[in-house]
Every structure is written in C-alpha cells, then in structure tokens.
Chains A and B, each alone.
Chain A
C-alpha cells in the first residue's frame, strides 16, 4: 500500500506529461464548425459574373455541393486554386465559389487569369452569407449534402493529401446516402 502511494506523484507526472505532449501536436486552428448538421441558411446574393442575377439556397441544392470560400486578398487561395480546377472535373460533386468580402473587379480578373473552377461564384461583398455560415477566414470549404445540410467545414487550402483524407470518404458516404434516398 505504502509503495503505491509513493508512486502516485510519478504517475501523475506521467499523465500530465502525456497530456501536454499530445497538446504540442494539436492544431489549434482546426476547430469543428458550429454549422455542421445545420441547414445552409437562406440568402439572396448576386453572382460574381452578373451582378443583376440573384442566387439563393435553392440554386445550390440537389447535388453534393462544395462551397469554397475565396478572395483575392487570400494568399493560400492562390495556392489551392490549381487543385480546385482539378476537383471541378469530378462528376460527383458541384463546386461553387463564395467570393468573400472582396473587390469585384479584382475577383473577376483573378478568375480570368487563373481560370474559373466554379459553377458560379456568389459575390458576398459584405460578408453576410460568410457570417451566417461561420466563416472566419479564407480559404474554407464547406460540404453540403443533397438535402442542403452542411456536413463539413474544412479551413485551409485543399491539396491532394487533404482531398484524399478529408473529402473523399465523406463524398462516398454522401453518394451512398443519395442512393439510399433514391431507392
């Protein structure tokens, strides 16, 4: 009994050490979004390419939707852009852009210069939709299922590794859900 008590400080030390050591490798920026499992809020905003045209939640529904938050002031968006062109070719998903608190002209010339991977980009100059879905920076990518529920938020640039690990499994799940719903 006494020998066990003697070891308690050592055991406590090890528990604390393990806890703190793990903490070293956690990414404080990777926070779960509060919006997961909630429906995409309604909005009425112009698209980047035609200011007169208004789009809303219904325009994004029915498919597995990737909503990519981007802006010309965002450096990492430039980094992920070539990969987005790649993703856009995947027939399983539809990639939409959310141009977030950006300059209209600069955004248009960005798409001209680097090509446009999006079905369309929502032009959210005031950041209203961004606020409603809890965006806190760019790039961020939301996955919305065919019923309009937000299923995932990924903060940071997408590359091949991220795509394979974070997105593909979910897309496969969503495909299965869609097949279930259809049958």
Chain B
C-alpha cells in the first residue's frame, strides 16, 4: 500500500518535471521564432534601421489582419516593407511615414488607433465598464453591511420584550 503511494508521488514528480521542462523549451522556442522574416535591406545608418524595425512592427498588414508588416510574408506586406524602406531612405520622418500610410490605407494600418470621436468607445469603453463595476460593487457591499447592521439592531419594542424575558429569569 505504502509502496504504491510512493510510486504515485514519483510519477507525479516526473510529470511536473516534464511539464516545467516543456514550458521552458516552448518559451525559448517562441523567442527564437519571434525574429521577423529578414529582408536584405541595407540602411544608410543604424538609426534608420532601428526606425524601420519599430515602424514595421507598428504598422499593420492590410491583408493579413492580425499581423504587422514585420511578421507577415504576404505579398502586400513585402511590398509595403519595401516602400517603408524607400520612404525612410528618402529621409521621411516617422510621422510623415505614418501619414503616408494612413492617407492610403486608413487608420486600419495603425496598431495603435488614434484618439478621435469614432474611437472614444475603444479608448474609454473599458474605463467606463471598470468604473461602473467598481460603483456597483461599492453599492452592493454597502447595502449588505446595512442589512447586517439592521439585523443586530433591535427596535425599542423588541428590546423591551427581551428585557422582560431576561428579568423574568
């Protein structure tokens, strides 16, 4: 009987060890895959290269909707990466590049939507919901504590009755 428990524990230990090592492995696996598909761009300086990397992560591929330009290998993403490279080499500033893309593809190409009337609900909706939640929690808790407090308070009549009973004893 005792033996079987021991073996069960050691099996469990094995399982945990396996689980942890798999987790670690998958973590390192993911980080190595995370490198974007490398184009052979030659940048005029390192700063431009850095800006290219930042912008290609910031801009969304219009066709493959849940990837940025850096991650996608679809035709349009490759084309847009080439264009981004050209624009940066020509000396456009980050804002100019973003304006260039937004003029043609709309706000959709931005992973961070700009703050304007149509996006108020996007930016403030979660805050409103959180706020509403906090208020209702406060409301409910207060009500509950009031009910509890009331339970302990006896009315004068009840108190008199209680005194009566106690005095009789």
A interface list, Cβ under 8 A from B: 28-29, 31-35, 38, 73, 101, 127, 130-137
Which B residues are in CB contact (< 8 Å) with A32?
106
* A residues near B104, Cβ cutoff 8 Å: 34-35, 131-134
Give chain B nearest CB distance to A124 CB in angstroms. 11
Chain B 82-132 residues near chain A, CB threshold 8 A: 83, 102-108
**Chain B residues within 8 Å of A, Cβ to Cβ:** 62-63, 65, 75-76, 79-80, 83, 102-108
| Alpha-carbon distance A8/B102, docked complex (angstroms) | 41
Expressed in whole angstroms, the Cα–Cα distance for A73 and B75 within the complex equals: 11
Contact between A136 and B63, CB atoms less than 8 A apart: yes
Q: Which residues of chain B have C-beta atoms less than 8 A from A31's C-beta?
A: 62, 106, 108
> Which residues on B sit within 8 Å (CB–CB) of A38?
103
What secondary structure prevails in chain A residues at the interface with B? loop
Task: Given A101-B75, A101-B79, A127-B79, verify A134-B105 contact (CB < 8 Å).
Answer: yes
17 contacts between A and B (CB under 8 A): A28-B65, A29-B65, A31-B62, A31-B106, A34-B106, A35-B104, A38-B103, A101-B75, A131-B80, A131-B83, A131-B104, A132-B104, A133-B104, A135-B76, A136-B105, A137-B75, A137-B76
Choose among B80, B106, B107 the residue that contacts A33 (Cβ–Cβ < 8 A): B106
Minimal beta-carbon separation of A167 from chain B (angstroms) = 22
**In the complex, residue of chain B having the shortest beta-carbon distance to the beta carbon of A33:** B106
